[in-house]
Structure 1
């Protein structure tokens, strides 16, 4: 039994940011009713790489554990169905452009009159207010304005993007955290509130002391490729068998252990490398010496020796290495979920974080479009079969 199993969530979000918030809450037991347009559903159903059957698999992950209800929110009838749902819910998640819910007569002022205990999580590119609130806010742009893009890549090339939708995911994660904070507050006040989670601020929140460094000393952080300025050795190094190995040995005692494994213990006392600051000043030549050593040995041999010596080390994993790694297997970091359509299983990342007394679980793959519509309307809202048929015939559900 997950810690959120008493909660009912209505998820209106599409694509990544809002649905990731719903995924996190569903993983820990919340009943998540995903509301989708009747024709086509969430565009996320078509995103990402396909499996052997030709169907995209990302949907199976981001919609896992949810129930699908189709509903046309652009119609007065669909809007009324949503109001009826809100009366039964604890949380509503939406990630439309700010103002959309209000145009539909579904703003928080209206919904909180129906259900004063409702927590409404609003995920957007630039937040619910301010001069940029009305702008379309895809993660690529918001990551740039939040400071991530300028720092990503090499100094002699244009900024690069991380190979994940990091801004969207972080905004969804922050929305989930905000929901839990608002629910905790509701325990004492009995009232819900709005959680405003923007993508650009979610990225901005990851930028450490970037703002303070500029304010205090006029410093602008720049791109440094696979290193951080003044931090050495901490880089990717080539191995003798063509792999990429990450070593982080920037602390004095850890660097000494690295030198011993390399067979060059005298390096630890070399004035160029003996202190944290000295290593940072001579990072390029130090990295070259380490790379010369790593390139002469196979990765597994070096990893075993360095790990045994207490030096942080690891390979740059792809999904293939993750699924073969015994540590991932021992901790069940990757879980297989049954697919009732194919009779097979699909591997995906497990629930995180881990709770010792009330852990979460992946209960099911992403649902078929509208598969729970009639059940929810009949059992939860008490709609009659005639009313359900009318809504279906009118294309509302």
Structure 2
């Protein structure tokens, strides 16, 4: 009698060609984690994503990119020079067999090669073609140059951080294309849902600008809970005499003087937000401080939903706000991160420990839920983040580390196109693959 093994991956029947570089690797990884057979196609010189840090041993082994390891894992890797006739023909043959194509090429470059959605639709009407671009595949800005900072600015997320005549500062780590890549994976599956009924593929056109705007709406939506000043495009700033301080009313902390607080064994993240949107959370903190007698009653009794109004009416001075910060900073130094985490949960204070990589690896909650997985190849072993969701049926797949350059050329070209080993070797010698 046959025994039941591990269930197949959610997307195990489907083959995905992933042409993306650092702008879209995450999309293919999400689908690979869901069990799809993802083939990472690189130019013969290698993907530019291999040059993105951090690197193994802090750069001592440059070329061993941890960025690549993180976002190209679970995929097989091949090379192909699609700017040669033989390479282009091979690519089209791969597209004939594929269910999805994900690419992050410059708008128009696929069409110039004869690889537009319409061209590929003639080859394979079933194919879902996903494009990840800065501003979309068409429109007045389609061919604009981009960077992470440009996309955040164009998406509107920097505007609330204006401080009088000071330009807004950039977002920390580059992440605009992470939002776009995640949207690309979702868009691919929406198109797939339609294909299950129609049998036909679609072109999914992802604009990173739009992804950034959609994923950072919390400040804009503050108006819906009473923050009407933002609705009027009024960002409160004070005069030079008050050091140009501004109100943080969305709870995000991006405009707050201090969000990292030193504690016994590191730092916690906490933002003293004010105003109708999130001031109630700071009120929870004040209740705890009152219980501990850590701050004078006249300050713990403040309603932080109304603090902006009190400051504007000069009923509360910024020097008093600075004093509150100082008292809180002194008080928190006596606690550990874990102690404050327990307090945050029980007191409903929006505070979280700043975790080191060691903290994350040893995190009891993550380990209890089986978040970390050990992946191994012939020459290396890495502990990697596992499933991004927990399901009653385990349809996630984790079976390989990120591919070396051209690691699966013989395997993939033989399996999908039927090339023999000597044919693959000859194409490699010719610089085609």
Would the alpha carbon gap of residues 206 and 220 (structure 1) be closer, same or farther in structure 2, given more than 3 Å must change?
farther
Question: What is the correspondence of 1:131-280 to structure 2 with a 5 Å cutoff?
Answer: 131-151=140-160, 158-208=167-217, 216-219=231-234, 228-229=248-249, 236=259, 238-241=261-264, 243-247=266-270, 250-251=279-280, 254-255=284-285, 257-263=287-293, 267=297, 273-274=302-303, 276-278=305-307
Q: Is the 8 A contact 1:254 1:311 kept in 2?
A: yes
Q: For residues 321 and 392 of structure 1, do their structure 2 counterparts lie closer, same or farther at Cα, with a shift above 3 Å needed?
A: same
- The 3-state SS of whatever aligns with 2:130 is strand
> Quick one: which of 31, 47, 50 aligns to 1:42?
47
In 2, Cα distance between equivalents of 1:232 and 1:64: 32
Of residues 307, 316, 325, the one that matches 2:354 is 316
Residues 324-339 of structure 1: matches in 2 within 5 Å? Answer: 324-339=362-377
Q: Which moved more, 1:355-364 or 1:130-139?
A: 355-364
How many Å apart are 1:151 and its aligned residue?
4.5
Unaligned runs of 5+ in 1: none
Contact 2:341 2:352 (C-alpha < 8 Å) held by counterparts: yes
How far residue 147 of structure 1 moved from its aligned partner, in angstroms, is 2.3
1:32–1:277 distance in 2 versus 1, CA, 3 Å: same
Contact 2:15 2:99 in 1 (8 A): yes
1:67-95 alpha-carbon deviations (Å, 9 max, x no partner)? 11111010121111111111111100010
SS in structure 1 of the partner of residue 153 of structure 2: helix
2:12 equivalent among 5, 8, 14: 5
1:77 to 2:86 alignment: yes
Please tell me whether residue 353 in structure 1 is matched to residue 362 in structure 2.
Answer: no
SS of corresponding position for 2:97: coil
**Could you say if the C-alpha distance between residues 162 and 365 of structure 1 is closer, same or farther in structure 2, counting changes exceeding 3 Å?**
farther
User: Normalising to structure 1: TM-score of the pair?
Assistant: 0.86
> Partner residue of 2:401?
365
* Compared CA separation, residues 304 and 210, structure 1 to 2 (3 A): closer
Residue 394 of structure 1 deviates from its aligned partner by: 2.1
Q: Is the 8 A contact 2:251 2:271 kept in 1?
A: no
Gaps of 5+ in 2: 1-7, 224-228, 238-243, 273-278, 311-315
**Alignment CA distance shift 1:209-1:232 (3 Å):** closer
CA distance in 1, matches of 2:74, 2:183: 20
Match of residue 415, structure 2, among 339, 355, 379? 379
Q: Given the two structures, how large is their TM-score scaled by the length of structure 2? A: 0.79
- Separation in 2 of the partners of 1:157 and 1:315? 31
Between the aligned partners of 2:373 and 2:349, the Cα distance in structure 1 is 29
- Determine if contact 2:338/2:353 at 8 Å carries over to the other structure: no
Q: Name which of structure 1's ranges 176-185 and 300-309 shifts more when overlaid on structure 2.
A: 300-309
Distance 1:164 1:339, change over 3 A: farther
Contact 1:49 1:58 in 2 (8 A): yes
Partner of 2:35: 29
How many residues align structurally? 391
Deviation track 1:81-114 (CA, whole Å, cap 9, x = no partner) reads 1111111111000101000001111111110011
Q: Give the secondary structure class of the aligned counterpart of 2:402.
A: coil
Taking the aligned partners of 2:19 and 2:170, their CA distance within structure 1 comes to 27
CA separation in 2, counterparts of 1:136 and 1:363? 37
* RMSD of aligned residue pairs (Cα, Å): 3.3
Q: CA deviation at 1:265?
A: 9.1
